[in-house]
Structure 1
Amino acid sequence: MIEINQLTFGYTKRNILYDALDLQLKEGNIYGLLGENGAGKSTLLMLIAGLKKPLSGSINVGGHEADHGSAEFLREVFFIPEEMTFPNITVSDYISVLSPFYPKFNHQHFIEMITEFGLSEDQKMNNMSYGQKKKVIISIGLASNTRLLLMDEPTNGLDIPSKSQFRKLVAKYMSDDRVFLISTHQVRDLESLIDPIVIVDNGKVVFNETLETISEKLLFTTAEKVEASDVIYVENGVAEDKVVAMNHSGEPSRINLELLFNAVLTEKTKMNQALPTQQIKY
C-alpha cells in the first residue's frame, strides 16, 4: 500500500532529518509510529500526506506519488494533525463542505461517532474545546473511509473515557483494505491497538515488527525472573526492576512498549541478537 524508497528530507540541505529512509506499510494494519521528540514523526506523516516534498526519493501510496498531489491520491488519504484550526461554522456545515472531497464518506457512521463522543452536528466548531475538536476530526477521518488514515498524536486532549472510546472506534472502522498510521508518544494509550510497531531514530527506520514476533522473541518481566545473561535492557524501579529479555522458552508476556522503545534505542547489539531478522540500524 505505502512504499517509501530512499527518502531524504531536511528543512535545509545542511540539516537533513531523514536520510535514505525506507519503509513499507501493508493494508489491514494499524501501525504505531514511535520516536523521540524531534525525531520527525510529524514530518514523516506530512511527507506521506503530500504536504511536504522530499529532497529525493519517493513515497508511493496506492500507486500514486504523494508529492504529485493528484485528485486520485488526495481522495484516498486523510491526515489528522495534532493542532487544528476550524472556521466559525457548525459541524454540519463543515461536513457539507468537506465530505464531497471523499467519495466514500459515510455520514451515518460520522453521526454515530460524534454521538458516541457526546457531540452534535449543531455545535459551532470554533467554540469547541481542543478535546472536542479532536473528537470531530477523528470522527471525520474514520468516516472518510480513505485507504490511508494518518493520525498525529490523536489522543492528546482526550480524557480517559474518550481515549477508551477512541480505541473502540478505531478498531471498529479498521478494515482489510485500509492502513492506519498513528504517531504517538503516549504509548500507554494505544498499547492494545497498534500493531506493528515502527520506530524512527536518527533519520532511519530502526525497528518495524509485529507484536506477535516481539512477543515470541522477547520477554517483558522483572529482573529476578530471568537469568542475567538473557537481559537486554533493564529499567530500575522503586519496588522492582523491569527488564526486556531474550525469550528462549516462548513464554508469553505482556508487551511493554515503553521498555521496548528504550531497548531499541539503547541496546542495538543485544536487540539484534534477539531479533536477528530485524537488523536494527543507527
Structure 2
Amino acid sequence: MIHLQNISYAYRKSRPVLTDVHLDVKPGHIYGLLGENGAGKSTLLKSLAGLVFPQQGEISVMGYQPAHRTPEFLSQLFFIPEEFTLPPVRLSRYLDTYTPFYRDFDRGLFNQLLTDFDIGHDVHLEELSFGQKKKVFIAFGLATKTRLLLMDEPTNGLDIPSKSQFRKILATALTEDRCFIISTHQVRDLDNLIDELIILGNQRIVLAASVEQICQRLAFKSVKEMTDNMLYAEQTLTGVHAILPNTDAEETRIDIELFFKAVALKGPQITQIFTPAIPHHEQHV
C-alpha cells in the first residue's frame, strides 16, 4: 500500500528532519508512529498525504505519487492533523460541501458516530469546543471509508469517555483493505489498538516491527526487584516494570510506552534484537 525509498526532507539545509528513510506499509493494520518531539512524525504523515515534498527519494501510496495530489488519490486518503480548523457553518452545510469528494462516504455511519460521540446531527461548527470539533472531524474521516487514514495526535483534546469511544470505533472500522497510521504521544490511549509499530529517531526509522514480533522476542513483566538480565526497567511504587529477552517463549502483553522508552534510551541494545528480521534498509511491516 505504501512504499518509501531513500526519503529525505529538511525544512532548511541546516535542519534535516528525515534522512534516507525506507518503509513498506501493508493494509489491514493499525500502525503506531512513535518518536520524540521533532523526530519527523508529522512530516512523514504530511509526505504521505502530499502536503510536503521530500528533497530526495520516492514515495508510492496506493500506486499514486502523493505530490501529484490527483483527485483519485485524494478520494482514497483522509488526513486528520493535530491542528485544524473547521468553517463557521452548520454541519449540514459542511457535509453538502465536502462529502462529494469521497465517493464511498457513508452518511449513516457518520450519523451513528456522531451519536456515539454525543454530538448533535446539525450543530453549528463555530459553537463547538475544540474537543467536540475533533470528534466531528474524526467521525467525518472514518465515514469517508478511505483506504488510508492518517491521524496526528487524534486523542488530544478528547476527554476520557471519548477516548474510550474512539478506541471502540477505530477497532470496528478497520478492514483488510484499509490502513490506519496514528502518530501519538498518548500511547496508553491506543495500547490495545496498535498492531504495528514504527519508531522514528535520529531522522530515521530506528525500528519497524509488529507487536507479535516484539512479543516473540521480548517479555514484559512486573516483578519485585531488578535483575541483571533486564534489557530495560523502571522502578515504580509497586515494583519494577521490566523488559527481558523472551528466552522461554512466554506470552506477555506489550507495554508500548515502556518499549518506546527502551528504544529511545537503550537504542541499539534493543533494536539489534530485531535486526535479523528487519534489516536496516528493508523495514517491512
In structure 2, give the amino acid aligned to 1:193.
Answer: L
Tell me, yes or no, if the aligned pair for 1:84 and 1:133 is still in contact at 8 Å: no
Structure 2 equivalent of residue 268 of structure 1: 267
Tell me, yes or no, if the aligned pair for 2:206 and 2:271 is still in contact at 8 Å: no
- SS for the counterpart of 2:170 is helix
In structure 2, give the amino acid aligned to 1:244.
Answer: I
In the alignment, the residues of structure 2 paired with residue 112 and residue 169 of structure 1 have an alpha-carbon distance, to the nearest angstrom, of: 10
Unaligned runs of 5+ in 1: none
In the alignment, the residues of structure 1 paired with residue 242 and residue 9 of structure 2 have an alpha-carbon distance, to the nearest angstrom, of: 35
In structure 2, give the amino acid aligned to 1:40.
Answer: G
- SS for the counterpart of 1:262 is helix
Structure 2 residue 234 is the aligned partner of structure 1 residue 235: yes
Structure 2 equivalent of residue 87 of structure 1: 87
After superposition, give the CA deviation of every residue in 1:55-111 in whole Å (9 maximum; x if it has no partner).
111211111001111111111110001112111111111011000001111111101
Structure 2 equivalent of residue 73 of structure 1: 73
- SS for the counterpart of 1:236 is strand
How large is the Cα RMSD of the aligned pairs?
Answer: 1.6
In the alignment, the residues of structure 2 paired with residue 279 and residue 2 of structure 1 have an alpha-carbon distance, to the nearest angstrom, of: 18
In the alignment, the residues of structure 1 paired with residue 205 and residue 171 of structure 2 have an alpha-carbon distance, to the nearest angstrom, of: 25
Structure 2 residue 282 is the aligned partner of structure 1 residue 250: no
In the alignment, the residues of structure 1 paired with residue 35 and residue 230 of structure 2 have an alpha-carbon distance, to the nearest angstrom, of: 23
Tell me, yes or no, if the aligned pair for 1:187 and 1:257 is still in contact at 8 Å: yes
Number of matched residues?
A: 280
Tell me, yes or no, if the aligned pair for 2:18 and 2:203 is still in contact at 8 Å: yes
After superposition, give the CA deviation of every residue in 1:140-172 in whole Å (9 maximum; x if it has no partner).
111101111000100011111111110111111
Structure 1 equivalent of residue 13 of structure 2: 13
In the alignment, the residues of structure 2 paired with residue 225 and residue 147 of structure 1 have an alpha-carbon distance, to the nearest angstrom, of: 46
In the alignment, the residues of structure 2 paired with residue 97 and residue 252 of structure 1 have an alpha-carbon distance, to the nearest angstrom, of: 50
- Relative distance call for 1:272 and 1:88 in structure 2 (3 A) is closer
- Normalising by structure 1, report the TM-score: 0.95
Structure 2 equivalent of residue 113 of structure 1: 113
In the alignment, the residues of structure 1 paired with residue 92 and residue 268 of structure 2 have an alpha-carbon distance, to the nearest angstrom, of: 54
Tell me, yes or no, if the aligned pair for 1:30 and 1:196 is still in contact at 8 Å: yes
In the alignment, the residues of structure 1 paired with residue 85 and residue 114 of structure 2 have an alpha-carbon distance, to the nearest angstrom, of: 18
Tell me, yes or no, if the aligned pair for 1:78 and 1:148 is still in contact at 8 Å: yes
Tell me, yes or no, if the aligned pair for 1:223 and 1:234 is still in contact at 8 Å: no
Tell me, yes or no, if the aligned pair for 1:17 and 1:40 is still in contact at 8 Å: yes
What is the CA distance between 1:273 and its match in structure 2? 4.9
Structure 1 equivalent of residue 26 of structure 2: 26
Structure 2 residue 183 is the aligned partner of structure 1 residue 180: no
What is the CA distance between 1:241 and its match in structure 2? 2.1
In structure 1, give the amino acid aligned to 2:269.
Answer: K
In the alignment, the residues of structure 2 paired with residue 236 and residue 225 of structure 1 have an alpha-carbon distance, to the nearest angstrom, of: 8
Tell me, yes or no, if the aligned pair for 1:271 and 1:280 is still in contact at 8 Å: no
What is the CA distance between 1:223 and its match in structure 2? 4.9
What is the CA distance between 1:224 and its match in structure 2? 4.5
In the alignment, the residues of structure 2 paired with residue 57 and residue 257 of structure 1 have an alpha-carbon distance, to the nearest angstrom, of: 30
Q: Which moved more, 1:258-267 or 1:24-33?
A: 258-267
- SS for the counterpart of 1:177 is coil
In structure 2, give the amino acid aligned to 1:79.
Answer: F
- SS for the counterpart of 2:239 is coil
What is the CA distance between 1:279 and its match in structure 2? 5.3
In structure 2, give the amino acid aligned to 1:10.
Answer: A
Structure 2 equivalent of residue 220 of structure 1: 220
- % of aligned pairs identical? 44
Tell me, yes or no, if the aligned pair for 1:91 and 1:120 is still in contact at 8 Å: no
What is the CA distance between 1:13 and its match in structure 2? 2.0
Unaligned runs of 5+ in 2: none
What is the CA distance between 1:274 and its match in structure 2? 3.3
After superposition, give the CA deviation of every residue in 1:206-263 in whole Å (9 maximum; x if it has no partner).
11111111111111113547852x3111222233222111010111112111110011
In the alignment, the residues of structure 2 paired with residue 105 and residue 87 of structure 1 have an alpha-carbon distance, to the nearest angstrom, of: 20
- SS for the counterpart of 1:241 is strand
Tell me, yes or no, if the aligned pair for 1:272 and 1:279 is still in contact at 8 Å: no
- SS for the counterpart of 2:236 is coil
In the alignment, the residues of structure 2 paired with residue 39 and residue 81 of structure 1 have an alpha-carbon distance, to the nearest angstrom, of: 16
In the alignment, the residues of structure 2 paired with residue 280 and residue 159 of structure 1 have an alpha-carbon distance, to the nearest angstrom, of: 39
Runs of 4+ in 1 over 6 A off after TM superposition: none
In the alignment, the residues of structure 2 paired with residue 247 and residue 273 of structure 1 have an alpha-carbon distance, to the nearest angstrom, of: 14
Tell me, yes or no, if the aligned pair for 1:221 and 1:253 is still in contact at 8 Å: yes
